[in-house]
Amino acid sequence: MDNILEKELVSIGIPFYNSQDFLSDAIKSVIKQTYQNWELILMDDGSGDNSLAIARAFEKNDKRIKVISDGKNLGLPNRLNQLSKLSKGYYYARMDADDIMHPERISSQVKYLKANPSIDLLGSGLIAIDNKNIITGLRKGSFLDNVTLNMVMKMTWCVHPTITGKLEWFQDNPYDENLKRAQDYELWIRTVDHSKFVKLKEAYLFYREASTPSLTKYFQSTKYSLNTFMKNKSRLGILNVLKLTINKLLKLFVYFVFSIFGQTNKLIQRRSVEMDPKDKKRYSSLIEQITS
């Protein structure tokens, strides 16, 4: 590997709450990165299961891992802001406690960021997995450069835990702690005009597609998205706010109908496309190697 890359410390932040079923695999995927100059901060949000014990067991065996726990449940955006404040790296990588990193994720994203220093946030493609680490598909998407406000409004420019970027950017642009859900969407809308967002086509994250889907969570996400539109109405324009609101409410209605018949997983599966059988076999084998 390029020795120059190894000089840059990368902070990896994983907030967790009652994640005992998946946290171990997430941590293993960090440890097995080809890029080894990292620190991992595991931030507990008042878990009531065995998650904290799992995190501390890894901390004992690797000095690069630090566990933070105050016993309180403060919510995801609060913990995300804490993670960036505590980080010491030049770059900062987002990750959720139920996902699995591709071994080349940090290496590939850092290499791209160093070659393109004007980029603030760099996302990637992803491979969807279920609760048993079985691949369910490849998330639709392509390379995106110079992401605009219009693009952010109309689509998910990237999935939150695929992002790696300059730590300074995260510290200068905190999440809105009043938004318990959709806090990433609000942050993109608020910052895209003075930031450079890029998304790589390559899949560098095994993303656990809605490990706990529910109508309540979807309703909350919709509510906070609508709050985001109103908060930024002067920038978005009233017409765009109206269009976005109608679109969100229509999606909520469709989700509600599917939930009545217990078919919400079909909606989730539509986000991805089938993988080539050879690629699926290769990536399945890679997941097994990471989590073993």
- 45-59, 98-112, 175-189, 223-237 — which is least confidently predicted? 223-237
Question: Phi, psi (5° rounding) for residue 198?
Answer: -135, 145
Per-residue pLDDT, averaged over 4-14, amounts to: 83
Q: State the alpha helices, DSSP H only, in the chain.
A: 3-6, 23-31, 51-61, 76-86, 105-115, 149-154, 167-172, 183-191, 215-231, 233-236, 238-260, 264-269, 277-291
223/107 Cα distance (integer angstroms): 37
Per-residue pLDDT, averaged over 1-26, amounts to: 85
Using a 10 angstrom Cβ sphere, with 0-12 exposed, 13-18 middle and 19 or more buried, the burial of residue 228 is buried
11/83 Cα distance (integer angstroms): 9
- Whole-angstrom CA distances from 248 to 12, 95, 252 are 32, 26, 6
Per-residue pLDDT, averaged over 170-194, amounts to: 91
Reading phi first (left if > 0) and then psi (alpha if -120 to 50, else beta), residue 232 is in: alpha
β-pairing, 121-129 vs 65-68, is unpaired
* pLDDT higher than 60, residue 211: no
Torsion, Cα of 148, 118, 107, 10 (10° steps): -100
pLDDT at 1: 39
Question: Phi, psi (5° rounding) for residue 208?
Answer: -75, 100
SS3 readout for 71-102: CCCCCHHHHHHHHHHHCCCCEEEECCCCCEEC
- Tell me the pLDDT tens digit for each residue of 233-262: 877 788 877 887 887 788 778 767 777 777
Its pTM surpasses 0.95: no
- 5-9, 100-104, 184-188, 263-267 — which is least confidently predicted? 263-267
179/176 Cα distance (integer angstroms): 6
- Whole-angstrom CA distances from 66 to 57, 60, 161, 222 are 11, 9, 19, 34
Position of tokens 């991992």? 40
pLDDT at 237: 83
Share of residues in the chain with pLDDT > 70 (%):
92
